[in-house]
């Protein structure tokens, strides 16, 4: 009888849904903090700031938060332009892409995400690289 109860309890545990990464890290509130810090660092970085001239910080923060929320299992809908459309004329290099990644990673670390959570967020964003890194003459 006890064995049946234990087995039944284990089965119930296995069937409970895992929280999404979005829920695990604290949702939109956490993402907004991450991208608030990251955007400030990006705009102040002389390698990156010029790419964002004319783009209000709050707009970039909102778009990054929305997009990441949607990619990591949150309830958000990304309302911005496609990555290809918004980056095509900016000639973003691979080095600049990774500089942005570093700022996002540092921001996640500062607010207390675990290394594992950081990697999972970055893994969700990584496929966007092919539409962000673009240099005139390369197609």
Tokens matching residue 47: 């390698």
4: in domain: no
Residue 84 has pLDDT above 50, yes or no: yes
66: in domain: yes
- Whole-number Cα distances in Å, 125 to 3, 70, 100: 45, 11, 12
Average pLDDT value for the chain: 90
38: in domain: yes
pTM: 0.83
Distance, CA of 106 to CA of 87 (rounded, Å): 23
3: in domain: no
Distance, CA of 85 to CA of 88 (rounded, Å): 6
What is the per-residue pLDDT for 28? 97
Domain that holds residue 107: 20-132
CATH number at residue 58: 1.10.490.10
Distance, CA of 136 to CA of 18 (rounded, Å): 43
Residue 137 has pLDDT above 60, yes or no: no
Distance, CA of 111 to CA of 41 (rounded, Å): 14
28: in domain: yes
Please count the structural domains in the chain: 1
Tokens matching residue 27: 């949702």
**Binding-site residues from annotation for heme:** 87
12: in domain: no
Mean pLDDT of 97-103: 98
């Amino acid at each position: 009888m006890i064995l049946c109860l234990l087995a039944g309890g284990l089965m119930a545990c296995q069937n409970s849904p895992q929280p999404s990464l979005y829920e695990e890290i604290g949702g939109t509130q956490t993402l907004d903090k991450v991208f608030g810090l990251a955007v400030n660092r990006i705009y102040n970085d002389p390698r990156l700031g010029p790419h964002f001239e004319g783009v209000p910080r709050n707009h970039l923060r909102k778009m990054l938060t929305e997009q990441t929320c949607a990619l990591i299992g949150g309830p958000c809908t990304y309302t911005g332009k496609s990555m290809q459309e918004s980056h095509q004329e900016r000639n973003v290099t691979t080095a600049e892409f990774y500089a942005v990644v570093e700022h996002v990673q540092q921001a996640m670390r500062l607010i207390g995400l675990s290394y594992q959570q950081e990697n999972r967020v970055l893994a969700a964003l990584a496929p966007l690289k092919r539409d962000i890194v673009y240099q005139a003459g390369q197609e």
